[in-house]
């Protein structure tokens, strides 16, 4: 689509930048590993209670590790006033926002895909029982985190206390998406089939993603142009 | 049609008016020296012209359009205080990125051409992180000019440029003039600016203090303008 | 004129409360299961309703600012959010007290209390962001965007947590195990709501004035620097 072409260009640039150094990716994965380790002291990995908590654990890890990636998103435009050069180019606010989201999404999904087997090993969880639906949940949840995180990364880019503020701001917003993702992941990792009651969570997740994507695109211009 | 038509533009930071009731026109093909003290509002005005900022009040027409449309911004080249190139990418990657962003039909060829013109072809695959200051500045100039803009907005372009970069910029500016492009240049370096300029705009504390053609008097005595119309 | 308006609102609010409080404490009978404590609902629920009214006002003003650029909208939005947050705090504290006496625990993860806590965090984030931005117009722009996001989320949060609690039940703060209230016992809730709204209007008027003055001082400071 013509109007999204520029978004892909931005996404491509971000991914090229990140995959060259892999700084943020490494930091994010290391952090995820550390959290998984710490949780192992809090919970007894073999007990039944952990079975019921796998969804929660996994998404907590993704949320915390993901914040590192999201923080970098607009921060990487600060040196040399590159953000100014971007906004002055024929790129609409919505395109810039979507481009950044796309790049962050890819990185987040990469983190998820790497964490999942590690999680399975550490906590003795067989997660391959319903891979298709589980993957859909991972994608939808990652997009929710991406949208909110990217928007707040844009909002806080010029602020002094950016790194401190981003997590505090985004986690309350993500509560509905988090609950939905946790609920669905719990069921799917446990190998059960989804009940009718569980499908509501797919709707919550999809609805959340849609609403905030549209809001983000609508507000992007106001956020970038002073 | 004028290249830029500004009518009654105000810009506020909170309740503080950084720009007050600015009205003037810039004819296509002219070269305007935008002068004024630090904090007078030059950068604010340039940002509004470049689409980085919105005026609170008043009308602005740039290249017969709104600065927030893609079509207009495609024809504007901006060289601000920051160089606007990515440290972690190579020179070639930077220029290709901006060429693609501008929607140019052959971004790789354009990038290659501009690497030659800025004298950076030899270091095309070196990361900008490893460039010297002069090389970075030349790359920044390349970024601003590569889409052959019809309107060039330059914020203190001669500040902190080395000789080679200055020579490159002057060459590109005269090339742009020959093409009929309009140039607006905010600067402290009165002498260089007045040599190139056809018109002069002086901003004093957010207000338009003087707008008119460059005269022989100004060229002979650059301080004349400030003494008569503003503060030094 | 402003002070007259504020006085008028204060008198109206005080009058309403003066009428309602005796009714709440003396005229209404004790509740079947909970005895005296349930009367806290007459402050707990109106506080929540007032908080959401304030957040809604903030939403409208945020949209107003983004469309018109008039900084007064921002002042009202900020004042309204702060006031809303104050009433949300009242809701949370009364909820906590109610839980302590009804269930013996200081906090129940009851659907409504949890939702209110999330909303509280959302708008506390709004205020935190405002603190961090120095320049007034930028502050107004960014907080307007957050306010719009926050209100959209408020709606989603309430529904989601309701569904979550049907699947993971917790002690619920309500009367007769979740049943409705008898007729005639509901009226004080709405009167108290009105009284609280009048009170919030006063707080917003005062706070909004402070924001406007703050902006003026900021601009004077910039004038001084420019001289």
- The boundaries of the domain holding residue A20 are 2-224
**Residues B83 and A81 sit within 8 Å (Cβ to Cβ):** yes
Contact yes or no for B51 and A87 at CB 8 A:
yes
Specify if B22 maps to a domain: no
pLDDT at res. A94: 93
Per the prediction, chain C carries an average pLDDT of: 87
**C122, C132, C167 member nearest A159 (Cβ):** C132
Rg (CA), chain A: 18
Token digits for B180?
Answer: 């009929």
Of residues B74, B89, B93, nearest to A90 (C-beta): B74
Query: Which of 144-203 (A) contact C at CB < 8 A?
Result: 151, 155-156, 158-161, 165, 168-169, 171-173, 175-176, 179-180, 183, 197, 200-201
pLDDT in tens, A164-182: 889 999 999 999 999 999 9
Which residues of chain A neighbour B101 with C-beta distances below 8 Å? 6, 9-10, 86, 89-91
Show the low-confidence residues of chain C (pLDDT under 70).
27-28, 30-34, 174-184
> Structural domain of residue B47, as residue ranges?
28-53+69-229
Domain count for chain B, please give it. Answer: 1
Judged by CB atoms closer than 8 Å, whether chains meet at A90 and B73 is answered as yes
Q: Is residue B165 part of a domain?
A: yes
Q: Compute, in degrees rounded to 10, the torsion defined by CA atoms B68, B72, B75, B80.
A: -20
Q: What is the pLDDT of residue B164?
A: 87
Q: Which of B14, B19, B206, B230 to mutate to test the interface with C (most CBs of C within 10 A)?
A: B14
CB within 8 Å: B82 and A86: no
Q: Using the Cα atoms of residue A49, residue A50, residue A53 and residue A55 in order, give the sign of their dihedral.
A: negative
**Inter-CA distances, A81 with A77, A127, C129, Å:** 7, 44, 22
Q: Hey, which chains touch C, using 3+ CB pairs under 8 Å?
A: A, B
Give the best residue of A1, A2, A13 to mutate against chain B (max B CB count within 10 A).
A13
Nearest CA of chain C to the CA of A136: how many Å? 20
Q: Are A103 and A14 in contact (CB under 8 A)?
A: yes
**Residue A9, token pair as written in the block:** 């260009």
Q: Tell me, what's the pLDDT at B232?
A: 45
Distance from the Cα of A168 to chain C's closest Cα (Å) equals 7
For this complex, say whether ipTM is above 0.85.
yes
Residues of chain A with C-beta less than 8 angstroms from the C-beta of B87: 79-80
pLDDT value at residue C174: 67
**Is B20 within the bounds of a domain?**
no
Inter-helix orientation angle B91-101/B133-145, to 10°: 20
By C-alpha distance, which of B231, B165, B218 is closest to B32? Answer: B218
- Nearest CB to A155: which of C142, C157, C161? C142
* Pairwise pLDDT comparison (A54 vs B8), residue with the higher score: B8
- CATH code, B141: 3.40.50.300
Contact pairs from chain B to chain C, CB under 8 Å: 30
B touches which chains (3+ CB pairs under 8 A)? A, C
- Report the C-alpha gap between B210 and A101 in whole angstroms: 46
Q: What is the pLDDT of residue A226?
A: 80
User: What burial class does residue B161 get, using C-beta atoms within 10 Å of its C-beta: 0-12 exposed, 13-18 middle, 19+ buried?
Assistant: buried
With a cut of 50, list the residues of chain B below it in pLDDT. Answer: 232
HEC string of chain B?
CCCEEEEEEEEEECCEEEEEEEEEEECCCCEEEEEECCCCCHHHHHHHHHCCCCCCEEEEEECCECCCCHHHHCCEEEECCCCCCCCCCEHHHHHHHHHHHCCCCCHHHHHHHHHHHCCCHHHCCCEHHHCCHHHHHHHHHHHHHCCCCCEEEEECCCCCCCHHHHHHHHHHHHHHHHHCCEEEEECCCHHHHHHHCCEEEEEECCEEEEEEECCHHHHHCCHHHHHHHCCC
Q: What is the pTM of this model?
A: 0.92
Nearest CA-CA distance, residue B85 and chain A, Å: 6
Q: What is the CA radius of gyration of chain C?
A: 20
- The structural domain count of chain A equals 1
A-chain residues near B47 (CB < 8 A): 226
Name the residue with tokens 């797919």. A202
């Amino acid at each position: 689509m013509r109007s999204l072409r520029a978004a892909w260009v931005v996404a491509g640039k971000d991914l090229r930048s990140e995959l060259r150094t892999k700084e943020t990716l490494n930091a994010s994965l290391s952090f995820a590993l550390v959290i998984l380790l710490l949780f192992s002291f809090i919970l007894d990995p073999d007990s039944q209670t952990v079975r019921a908590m796998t969804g929660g654990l996994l998404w907590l890890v993704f949320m915390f590790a993901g914040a590192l990636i999201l923080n970098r998103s607009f921060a990487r435009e600060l040196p040399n006033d590159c953000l100014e050069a971007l906004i002055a180019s024929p790129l609409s606010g919505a395109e810039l926002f979507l481009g950044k989201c796309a790049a962050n999404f890819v990185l987040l999904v990469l983190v998820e895909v790497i964490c999942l087997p590690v999680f399975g090993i550490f906590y003795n969880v067989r997660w391959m029982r319903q891979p298709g639906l589980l993957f859909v949940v991972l994608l939808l949840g990652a997009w929710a985190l991406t949208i909110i995180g990217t928007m707040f990364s844009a909002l806080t880019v010029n602020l002094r206390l950016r790194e401190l503020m981003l997590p505090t701001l985004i986690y309350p917003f993500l509560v509905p998406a988090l609950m939905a993702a946790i609920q669905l992941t719990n069921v799917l990792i446990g190998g059960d089939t989804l009940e009718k009651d569980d499908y509501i969570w797919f709707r919550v997740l999809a609805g959340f993603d849609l609403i905030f994507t549209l809001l983000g695109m609508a507000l992007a211009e106001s956020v970038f142009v002073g | 049609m004028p290249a830029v038509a500004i009518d009654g533009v105000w810009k506020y930071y909170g309740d503080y008016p950084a720009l007050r009731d600015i009205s003037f026109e810039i004819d296509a093909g002219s070269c305007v020296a935008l002068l004024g003290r630090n904090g007078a509002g030059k950068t604010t005005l340039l940002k509004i012209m470049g689409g980085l900022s919105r005026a609170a009040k008043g009308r602005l027409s740039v290249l017969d359009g709104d600065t927030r449309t893609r079509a207009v911004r495609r024809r504007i080249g901006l060289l601000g205080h920051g160089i606007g190139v990515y440290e972690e990418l190579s020179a070639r990657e930077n220029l290709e990125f901006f060429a693609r962003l501008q929607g140019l039909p052959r971004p790789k060829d354009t990038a290659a051409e501009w690497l030659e013109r800025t004298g950076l072809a030899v270091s095309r695959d070196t990361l900008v992180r490893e460039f010297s200051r002069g090389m970075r500045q030349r790359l920044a100039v390349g970024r601003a000019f590569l889409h052959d803009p019809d309107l060039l907005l330059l914020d203190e372009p001669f500040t902190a440029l080395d000789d080679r970069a200055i020579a490159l910029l002057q060459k590109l500016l005269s090339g742009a003039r020959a093409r009929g492009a309009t140039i607006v240049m905010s600067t402290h370096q009165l002498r260089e600016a007045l040599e190139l300029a056809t018109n002069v705009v002086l901003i004093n504390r957010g207000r338009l203090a003087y707008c008119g053609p460059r005269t022989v008097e100004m060229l002979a005595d650059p301080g004349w303008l400030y003494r008569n119309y503003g503060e030094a | 004129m402003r002070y007259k308006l504020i006085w008028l609102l204060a008198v109206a609010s005080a009058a309403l409360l003066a009428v309602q409080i005796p009714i709440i404490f003396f005229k209404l009978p004790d509740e079947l299961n909970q005895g005296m404590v349930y009367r806290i609902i007459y402050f707990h629920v109106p506080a929540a309703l007032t908080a959401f009214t304030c957040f809604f006002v903030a939403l409208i003003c945020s949209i107003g600012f983004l469309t018109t650029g008039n900084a007064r909208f921002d002042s009202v939005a900020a004042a309204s959010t702060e006031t809303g947050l104050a009433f949300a705090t009242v809701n949370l504290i009364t909820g906590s007290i109610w839980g302590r006496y009804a269930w013996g625990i200081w906090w129940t993860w009851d659907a409504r209390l949890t939702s209110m806590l999330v909303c509280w965090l959302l708008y506390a984030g709004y205020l935190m962001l405002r603190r961090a931005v120095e320049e007034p117009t930028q502050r107004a722009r960014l907080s307007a965007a957050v306010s719009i996001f926050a209100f959209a989320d408020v709606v989603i949060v309430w529904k989601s947590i309701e569904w979550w609690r049907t699947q993971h039940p917790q002690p619920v703060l309500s009367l007769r195990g979740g049943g409705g209230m008898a007729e005639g016992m509901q009226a004080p809730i709405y009167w108290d709501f009105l009284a609280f709204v009048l009170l919030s209007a006063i707080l917003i008027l005062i706070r909004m004035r402070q924001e406007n003055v703050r902006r003026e001082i900021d601009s004077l400071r910039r004038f001084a620097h420019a001289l």
